[in-house]
Amino acid sequence: MTKREVVILVGLVVALSVVFVLSLALGSTPIPLRRVVLALMGASPHDEASVIVVTAIRLPRSVTAMLAGASLGIAGLQMQTLFRNPLADPFALGISSGASLGVALVVLGSGYGAAAAFGTAMGMRGDALITAAAIVGAALVLGLVLVVSSRIANPTTVLILGLMFGYAVSAIVTVLVGASQPERLQQWAQWGFGSFSGVTWQRLQLFGPLTFFGVLIASATTKQLNALLLGENYARSMGLAVRRARLLTMLGASVLGAVVTAFCGPISFLGIAVPHLCRGLLGTSDHRVLVPAVVLMGSAVALVAQIVSLLPGNAGVLPLNAVTSLMGAPIVVAVLLRSRRGAFAG
């Protein structure tokens, strides 16, 4: 690691810390920074309400945002390197569509009553049921894509395959939406907006470990990812078991994407934008530097998106999904235009 890279990484840690504290202070009721820090340290005798707001509402939300951002960032980096495609993201294999289908079936479909009854029997209500549906839907699509793609040699074909699966599944969702009753559409739309607020401390007990260890495992693949920079042929000639690495990477990245989608709804663009941001910032493709950078940057960008989504104040919140896209699109364009040769150019 060069000195410049270390400086940038340290800078990212500082930026993340600042944004993290800001995300706890800002919101419908701004809380002074001093009180936020006191509340975090468990000592704020003067104001019970602000302690509750910070520790019970904002802290789990911010932790969720960071975990989700880190997950999407690193999963996006893995997919972009694996497919050598700047547009690949954690949802490249149709995961997002699969999750949508699961949720749509529960929320919109005629199976709602049955699913709700089943969920109640299992002790799940509302959000938990939707999460379970999203995971089942994503897992089904992922399973299908992985089974078919294990027979395919060319990575680009796999990418197209995932795209086609995604289209087909989205079409089914559209049919469901078209046939559903208006009052249920509200709940469906709500899910589609995406949100970090739905993950309470209780749900974090599942979401936290899943994403934390997912990111940890993904971070341990830097050597393989670096070998893949030269393409699958060279990677194989240097001793990488390419087929297995591809399958495991696709599985890991997709699971991360699916878990985030299940708990937070579809959050687009973070997975594409964060790796590009880091490459642009660091000026390197070396994953030994990119992986920590993507984890830090993903967390920070997700927190910023979370803060921006609360900007309207009392007038409500902006859909998170719209915020990430509106922030992400110009950033990606700027990064691509700035690097004259362009990522993956040629």
Partner 1 sequence: MTPYAAPALCADVELALRTRDLAVGYRTRRSRRAVLEHVNLGVRAGELVCLLGPNGIGKSTLLRTLAKMQPALWGSVELGGADLRSITHAELARRLGVVLTERIVVEALPVRRIVELGRYPHSGWFGRITDRDRRVVDWAIDAVGARQLADRDFSRLSDGERQRVMIARALAQEPVLLVLDEPTAFLDVPSRVEVMGLLRQLTREGPLAVVVSTHDLELALRTADLVWLVMPGGEMTTGAPEDVVLSGGLAQAFEGRHIRFHPEERSFRLLTGDRGEAVVRGSGLRAALVAAVLEREGYAVVAASDESALSVEAHECGWHVLTDDGEGNGADYASLAAFLRGRRAVA
Q: Which amino acid makes up residue 32?
A: P
Give, as ranges, the residues between 317 and 346 that touch partner 1 (CB under 8 A).
Answer: 339, 341-346
- Residue from 288, 313, 326, 334 touching partner 1 (CB under 8 A): that is 288
Distance set, CA 13 to CA 7, 16, 228, 294 (Å): 10, 5, 28, 11
- Residue from 144, 284, 318, 319 touching partner 1 (CB under 8 A): that is 284
Distance set, CA 290 to CA 15, 135, 333 (Å): 17, 29, 20
The rounded distance, in Å, linking the Cα atoms of 131 and 139 is: 12
- Residue from 285, 322, 327, 331 touching partner 1 (CB under 8 A): that is 285
Give, as ranges, the residues between 225 and 244 that touch partner 1 (CB under 8 A).
Answer: 226-227, 229-231, 233-234, 236-241
Smallest separation, CB 346 to partner 1 (Å): 4
Smallest separation, CB 2 to partner 1 (Å): 9
Q: Which stretch binds partner 1 (CB under 8 A): 95-103, 108-116, 222-230, 258-266?
A: 222-230
Smallest separation, CB 227 to partner 1 (Å): 5
Residue with tokens 């202070």: 25
**Length of the chain (residues):** 346
Residue with tokens 């070396």: 286
Using the minimum distance from each CB to partner 1, give the nearer residue, 170 or 222. 222
Q: Residue 22: left (phi > 0), alpha (psi -120 to 50), or beta? A: alpha
The rounded distance, in Å, linking the Cα atoms of 224 and 52 is: 45
Question: Residues interacting with partner 1, by CB under 8 A?
Answer: 84, 220, 222-223, 226-227, 229-231, 233-234, 236-241, 279, 283-286, 288, 339, 341-346
